[in-house]
Amino acid sequence: MPLPKTLIIGQPFNNDFGGGITQANLFGGWDKNKIAVVSTDHMFNNLNTEICDTYYILGKEEYKWLFPFNLIQRNVPSGQRIVKANSHTIVASSASGKTNWRAKIVNEYFYPFLEYVGLFHGISKLNLSDKLKKWIEEYNPDVIYAQAPTRELVLFCTRVQAYIKKPMVYHVMDDWPSTISQKGLFKNYWHKKIDRELRVLIGKSTVLLSISNAMAEEYKKRYGRDFITFHNPIEMEFWKSHQRKNYELKDMPSVLYAGRIGPGIQTTLETLAMAIDKVNKQFNSSVQFFLQTKDKPSWVENYKCVQHKPLVAYSELPRVFAEADFLYLPYDFSKESIRFIKYSMPTKAPEYMMSGTPVIVFGPAETALVMDALQNNWAKVVTENNIEVLAEAINTIVTDQNLRKQVATNAIRIAETNYDSVKVRSRFREVISSIASSFNNIENVKK
């Protein structure tokens, strides 16, 4: 069955976001001339040009802002951008890790203020400009694939689908509908309004995809539709290239966390630092905690065991993960964090698993990640938000080589079974191709 021309809305193929990495791994091997992306400019960096090089950037002709917010917005040109290999593939380094103070002020102060006064979800709107309509018509997609975790993207996807009247696939990466309106004077108003709008999008979608089985089960109850689970698949040979096979420890064993710091993952990073310091002091050991993140948290200097490292290129991750003695996969325990991450599976989870390095999972028992790790025994799991308990778990896995080998071996087996990109892509292509084929057959009958 030939692969359909697919219009992707919302998420570019970048290496900065789990959605971009997952998308790239799902669409790997697709014909380049059969993939085009419509996205915003602020996500247009660190692109994976092997998958797609044709983009339409939503700019001043599509974005409409209320006065006076229109006066302070960047004047981004709308239109197609052809991305050449390596021209926008920025390797993450210490330079790229510098704080953008404008973005920090906007995200931490300005946007929360707008949310509190009830303006955040209504100050901008994405329209289908004549330029965008012409571009979509010329591209003439067979199917739409969308990731839409904001109100304006939900409405935009609905508008695009209504305009071109092609089947749409909607893929949910985390339970954003539960957390999108949790603050401010008008939170109940916006929660109900966005829920209604999302249900319209769900109703317009031919196929719905989730990121975990737990999410699929919950969304079936919540929205009355079946969701098919597609999590991030991985390239087996890529991750086997440096796969760890030796479970003896270095004189100074290292625990590595590599990834983002943000919603759902903040306080448990410092909790690990406290626990490792406790282990080192109590047992006279020298365990290190390597924090490989874009920004260096202010608390790092408070702990002897912590070292901050800059991000590295994605191609370096198999080596980096295998060189660590342990990999840390945490989730925060706050109610707000649990609402956000409860049904998610981190993009890095199968990558951690396939690395062969023992994984330490620290998070609430009710999350999809923890339930999966416990059920399949692919990590040392701690579900109690307690420094003493976490320290005890760290000491146990540091001193027990058989345990390290057992969880790492199980992790590899589970990754090979559930996350092999060859198997997952085949199933993904079948889903996308079948809805495009069914739609075309119906249209041919009408003619």
Phi, psi (5° rounding) for residue 215? -65, -40
Alpha-carbon distance 325 to 333, whole Å?
Answer: 25
Helix, strand, or coil here: 339? helix
Q: Residue 308 is encoded by which pair of tokens?
A: 């901050």
Alpha-carbon distance 319 to 308, whole Å?
Answer: 18
What are residue 8's DSSP bridge partners? 37, 145
pLDDT over 90, % of the chain: 71
pLDDT digits (tens, 9 = 90+) for 329-357: 999 999 888 988 999 999 999 999 999 99
Mean pLDDT of the chain: 89
pLDDT digits (tens, 9 = 90+) for 128-182: 999 999 999 999 999 999 999 999 999 999 999 999 999 999 999 999 998 887 6
Furthest-apart CA atoms within the chain: distance in Å? 79
Alpha-carbon distance 391 to 279, whole Å?
Answer: 6
Residue in the block written with tokens 């509908």: 177
Half-sphere exposure of 304 (CA within 13 A, CB side): 10
Alpha-carbon distance 392 to 383, whole Å?
Answer: 13
- Bigger pLDDT: 109 vs 185: 185
Alpha-carbon distance 267 to 332, whole Å?
Answer: 6
Alpha-carbon distance 130 to 136, whole Å?
Answer: 10
Residue 110 has pLDDT above 80, yes or no: no
Q: Residue 102 is encoded by which pair of tokens?
A: 């404008």
Alpha-carbon distance 75 to 78, whole Å?
Answer: 9
Global pTM reads 0.87
Residue 95 has pLDDT above 60, yes or no: no
Residue 92 has pLDDT above 80, yes or no: no
pLDDT digits (tens, 9 = 90+) for 29-85: 999 999 999 998 877 777 888 899 999 999 999 988 776 776 667 788 999 987 876
Q: Can you say whether the dihedral through the CA atoms of 158, 160, 161, 162 is positive or negative?
A: positive
pLDDT for res 121: 74
Residue 104 has pLDDT above 60, yes or no: yes
Q: Is 32 left (phi over 0), alpha (psi -120 to 50) or beta?
A: alpha
Phi, psi (5° rounding) for residue 330? -110, 160
pLDDT for res 314: 86
Q: Residue 292 is encoded by which pair of tokens?
A: 């490989």
Residue 96 has pLDDT above 60, yes or no: no
Q: DSSP strand E in 295-339: where?
A: 306-309, 326-330
